[in-house]
Amino acid sequence: MEEQQKKKRIFSAIQPTGVFTLGNYIGAVSNWGKLQDEYECIYAIADLHAITVMQEPAALRKNTMNAFALMLACGMDPKRSITFVQSQNPHHAELSWVLSCSTMFGELSRMTQFKDKSQKHADNINAGLFTYPVLMAADILAYNADLVPIGADQKQHLELARNIAQRFNQRFGETFVVPDGYIPESGARLMSLQDPTKKMSKSDENANATIFILDDKDTILRKFKRAVTDSDTEVCYREGKDGINNLMSIYSVVTGKTYDEITAEFAGRGYGDFKTAVGEAVADHLEPVRTEYARLSADKAYLTECMTNGAQQAYRLTSKLLRKVYRRVGFIDRL
């Protein structure tokens, strides 16, 4: 009988910095659960990365617990994947130091996110902000991940991780898997409800611009009713109708209907009916996540157990590689 092909390994991490938006969920997070069928998945809450900007300690602990609960509520199954909190596996930080010595200053200077974050946090341009792409590389390389789900803003960081792995392998011998990016199937790019020319963002100052996946039904309906449209009355996907195009895109994703079917459904009906229908469909689509999140959040003992088990699995998985790395660079064997 033909030997079963080994599953490829995927690593992905999210920072505990607020609730996912509808755009985050549809564009990325909702797909993570599905990947568990085809890949060996490792999912982490990246709390080490979070402290590159100032955090209030108690809030960080709470946000980390909430983010972990939300990750599980969105479909990541601790029985099928390794789910853990980054800081609970010290190998990430240990490997990051070794890799920083195989990373060039010029490479880090070219990271566009460092430039962007330096402008946003001009009063706290710390060394961690500069070197966190190396920690990101360590996150990935510690698990010999084959694939990393990435968006457009992470391509530069993945390329750096590949360069670091190749450089280390060339100097010390084959040690790391050189990871590839995993580009999810093309999904809708959801735009702001108040300015449909801009991407939906959790940092938007306009509270009505963004749908968060834990928003209750009344809040979701209110935000959609206030969504920017145009002076026309026809629900159809057409150039120049950015607001309606965005709402049609959202409705299509959560219902599975085509644009032609949506146009036919709302023929002769006004924008008010359409906005309400989109809001209802989104609220229904997110209701299972909200319900599961509420259940998990109320069971701190279960969350702690899942974190502990996940961290122990992650630690065991990275121990062998870290011993190899330490030996390759010339450190005396660990006790």
Q: Which of 117, 223, 241, 275 is catalytic?
A: 117
234-to-42, 43, 251, 270 alpha-carbon distances in Å: 46, 43, 16, 7
Residue 62 bears catalytic tag: no
**Position 277, amino acid:** A
- Scan for tokens 């660079």, then name that residue: 329
Distance of CA 90 to the CA centre of its chain: 21
Residue 275 bears catalytic tag: no
Q: Which of 8, 202, 225, 257 is catalytic?
A: 202
Q: Which of 199, 217, 225, 324 is catalytic?
A: 199
CA–CA separation, 106 and 111 (whole Å)? 9
Nearest to 254 by CA among 2, 22, 56, 13: 22
- Scan for tokens 């909190």, then name that residue: 85
Residue 202 bears catalytic tag: yes
User: What's the Rg (C-alpha) of the chain?
Assistant: 22
Catalytic residue ranges: 117, 199, 202
